[in-house]
Chain A
Amino acid sequence: MMRGWRFTGDAAPLPTHAFGTASLTWWGVVGFMLIEGTGFALAIASYFFLMAQEKQWPSGALPPDLLWGTIATVVMLLSELPNIWLKRMAEAERIGPVRAGLVIVALFGVALLVIRGFEFAHLNIGWDRNAYASILWALLLLHTVHLLTDFVDTVVLAALMFTPHGLEGRRFVDTSENALYWHFVVLSWLVIYAIIYWVPRLG
């Protein structure tokens, strides 16, 4: 026998979108950041595990050239200025600045992908030479996948915000969470930059 119902509250006045922990999107993005962060952490652990087996590190090669990696790091840090601003504008639900911010961050993405190409060309070793080379390429590739993914996300979102769909509250939430994910891409880069460019120079 089905029970009866007793009305005790009304959800109608509640908002239909919200930022941060109040939105499902935030939890989804954080979930994937945890997954990918774990992947990064384990890849980094593998780097040090392999390093511990070797007498010489990097084995059989010069460390990657500093120039392009450092340029990437500087540009990545600079991209945080428009990104932080974009996140604020999204949370203020201002469509004009959000459109501009997304375009600027997407342009940074283009620049970083080009720079990344030069980084690959200046690693000073092919991936198949030895285990050092393999884990070096793996770390850079893993980060590049994230860079590329967030770049595509940003372009799609930018296009979306120029259509009438952009005027929905939840699109501002999407923009804000996309900016959060960009923080993750930048922060993970700082760690990977330190490891692949500076750890081989310490010894």
Chain B
Amino acid sequence: MTAAADLPRDGAELRGEALHARLSRTWDTPGDLYARLATVDHKIVGQRYIVTAFAFLLLGGVLALIMRTQLATPDSGLISADRYNQIFSMHGTTMMFLFAVPMGEAMAIYLIPLMLGTRNISFPRLNAFSYWVYLAGGIMIWVAFLLNVGPETGWFSYVPLAGPEYSAGKRTDFWAQMITFTEVSALATSVSLIASILKQRAPGMAIGRMPLFAWAMLVTSLMVVFAMPAVMLASSFLIADRLVGTQFYNPTEGGDALLWQHLFWFFGHPEVYIIFIPGLGFVSQITETFCRRPVFAYPVMVLAMVSIGLLAFGLWVHHMFATGLPRVGYSFYTAASMMIALPSGLQIFCWIATMWLGRPRFDAPLLWVLAFIVTFVMGGLTGVMVASVPLDLQLHDTYFIVAHFHYVLIGGMVFPLLGAITYWFPKITGRLMHEPLGKATVALGFVGFHTAFFPMHVTGILGMPRRVYTYPAGMGWDTLNLVSSIGAFLFAAAILLFVLNILWSLRRGRPAGPDPWAAPTLEWATSSPPAPYNFPHIPVVTGHAPLWDEPGDLPVMTGLRVDDRELLLTTVMDADPEGREASALPSIWPLIAAIATTILFIGSIFTPWAVVWGAIPAAAALIAWFWPKSGDVPPEPVIE
């Protein structure tokens, strides 16, 4: 097949300003409302995702502060038991489903195509659809909460508590459909990310040369693919039990409450790694750049992430030690749970070795990494402790567990995320964040976090159970709780400082230029913020650290059409150029399809028939989405 010679392409004749003008016409998102709603630019969708997920972090944080205010003193009458149930359920739900998982994907949607040297994410309309569905699900559950029909049975909604008998009304149905919204969205984005990472890498970026963040997102996305169907199935069974009288979880009719726990934790444990593996990716990129050398033992890092991904599916039962299981089951899941410390530990040593061998520059992003290492190691140690059954039975459902998973999740994901935002902020906005303020934020955040959560280990050992709305005086928990509450407010103050820094830096931050950190990966080879088409020419990679390997002019490949949105596809292992493929143009239909899907999902909370009549507009929107439009750019003639 030969290319039509008269089509405009980048190359020696078309470069510089002329190329910029031509590519901008093809790839730009104009400023009018319609164009903004129809955009499929991964950078715009990614930014929306990041801002939305961050907003949910703040909302979930406010709920945490309300709980800490209530628990600061014994016998507090600030909020009722029922309200408290909804608040802790919403806190967990918001943080897990609306902040942590979407945030990892959000950062990837923005960064991965830039790191890989391509013009857009694959299936960009699916990706836009994913955002709208996520937004709709988040708004739905928060509106329900504000209308007093928020979830009330915890972020994991155990049956029978969440079943039709004990959770009357629509509260749990809203929760179950929130699951459907967020999982549809996460699954769609994961498929886009997997295809992008495997097929759209710059020529020469063999799979063994990918940035570690790309590896992290490949593992994460594959985990989403295999884990999220479990929770969708579980919540569909739940809503069916509640709405149409199925008996999946009803023990009097042959159902089993433990079926819920198995399905939920088959998803729920990998979920933890789905949340923090992107964090490992952030840490690796930051460590590399600020230590000015490639991460020590790249193959070990990759294998560690892959083995965490695999092991994560073998230890869900450790959440169920208290349900009564066969003894051999205990031993197996204890061993698997302890084993996960090995790859995690290897990575920690590799980062430390990178710092030891490199020339570290202790800017705010690297300080967040240090905060991560200390905190995450502590969380990992308590993790190994509760992997052992006798200890777990003692500590189950106490504040010790609350301390453990906040160390792992905030230490493992939030600290790296704040570092990552500081690190990539100049790429996204063209301006640097305020560095001294950034350093102060790390210090305050670190102190606040440990003040809040360290005492909870002790509170838990002293026997205070989780999810109680208040406690009597004289149990020996009073001071510890007060200290935790003070720490929570300090940590919140650090988050507030971070937000203020962002707002200030958006306007006043020091202009960054394309590569303010002298970083090695491809996203720093283009302007800040990047042009709508990402790169004028497609970069060619010759090693692990493309920008360090090629200190002078960057090798590039030319020849993509500039009058159509075209991507360069490369082979999965070696990234040899394989083909050019058209990338979808902007379309309003993903938004319309998301609205139709939203009507279907929300309708199905009230009547099962919504699934039937709601499917018709949804299907119509999907067909319109796929149907080629007359205004589309004509393809190269291949069929005569």
Contacts and interface: CB of A to CB of B under 8 A. Distances in A.
Contacts of B582: 16, 170
The winner among B191, B262, B526, B566 for most chain A CB atoms within 10 A is B191
A175 to B, nearest CB: 13
B639 A28 contact: no
Interface stretch (A70-78, A110-118, A126-134): A126-134
A24 B123 contact: yes
Interface in B255-279: 255-256, 259, 262-263, 266
Interface string A49-85: 1100110000100000000000000000000000000
Nearest to A40: B229
Contacts of A21: 572
A1 to B, nearest CB: 7
A9 B558 contact: yes
Interface stretch (B39-47, B372-380, B536-544): B536-544
Contacts of B639: 93, 95, 167-169
B244 A127 contact: yes
A16 to B, nearest CB: 5
Contact of A24 (B195, B256, B540, B557): B195
Interface residues of B, number: 80
A173 to B, nearest CB: 9
Contacts of A53: 254, 256
Interface in A125-146: 127-135, 137-138
Interface in B111-143: 122-123, 126
A11 B1 contact: no
A190 interface: no
A131 B514 contact: no
Given A27-B199, A168-B635, A7 B11 contact: yes
B560 interface: yes
Contact of A49 (B194, B259, B569, B626): B259
Given A53-B256, A95-B639, A6 B555 contact: yes
A17 interface: yes
B579 A17 contact: yes
Given A15-B580, A28-B191, A130 B554 contact: no
A-side interface mostly: helix
A8 B636 contact: no
Contact of B244 (A23, A93, A128, A165): A128
Contact of B514 (A2, A16, A169): A2
Given A27-B195, A169-B638, A131 B578 contact: no
Given A28-B191, A131-B253, A168-B639, A10 B557 contact: yes
B577 A14 contact: yes
A93 B637 CA distance: 13
B554 A5 contact: yes
Interface string B233-261: 10001001100111110100111100100
Contacts of B401: none
B318 interface: no
Interface string B552-576: 1111111110000011110010000
A191 interface: no
B199 to A, nearest CB: 6
B229 A35 contact: yes
Contacts of B266: 42
Contact of B560 (A11, A39, A46, A167): A11
Interface string B412-450: 000000000000000000000000000000000000000
Contact of B254 (A34, A50, A160): A50
B579 A54 contact: no
Interface in B565-605: 566-569, 572, 577-582
A27 B194 contact: yes
B426 to A, nearest CB: 14
Nearest to B634: A168
Nearest to B2: A13
Nearest to B623: A156
B626 to A, nearest CB: 7
A139 B577 CA distance: 43
A202 interface: no
A130 B557 CA distance: 63
A15 B637 CA distance: 11
Contacts of A46: 233, 237, 248, 259, 263
B226 interface: yes
A187 interface: no
A16 B466 CA distance: 58
Contacts of B250: 131
A18 interface: yes
Contacts of B15: 5
Given A3-B553, A6-B553, A34-B226, A16 B263 contact: no
A133 to B, nearest CB: 7
B503 interface: no
A127 B246 contact: yes
A24 B559 contact: no
23 contacts: A4-B552, A6-B556, A7-B12, A7-B557, A7-B558, A9-B558, A11-B568, A13-B559, A14-B579, A16-B3, A17-B581, A22-B578, A35-B187, A35-B229, A39-B229, A39-B232, A42-B263, A50-B256, A93-B639, A127-B246, A128-B247, A134-B247, A165-B628
Q: 10 nearest interchain CB pairs?
A: A12-B559, A11-B559, A131-B254, A31-B191, A128-B245, A134-B246, A131-B255, A4-B553, A39-B229, A27-B195
Interface of A: 1-18, 21-24, 27-28, 31-32, 34-36, 38-39, 42-43, 46, 49-50, 53-54, 59, 93, 95, 127-135, 137-138, 152, 156, 160, 165, 167-170
Given A9-B558, A38-B229, A59-B254, 11 more contacts: A11-B559, A16-B3, A22-B578, A24-B569, A27-B199, A128-B247, A130-B253, A131-B254, A133-B246, A133-B247, A134-B241
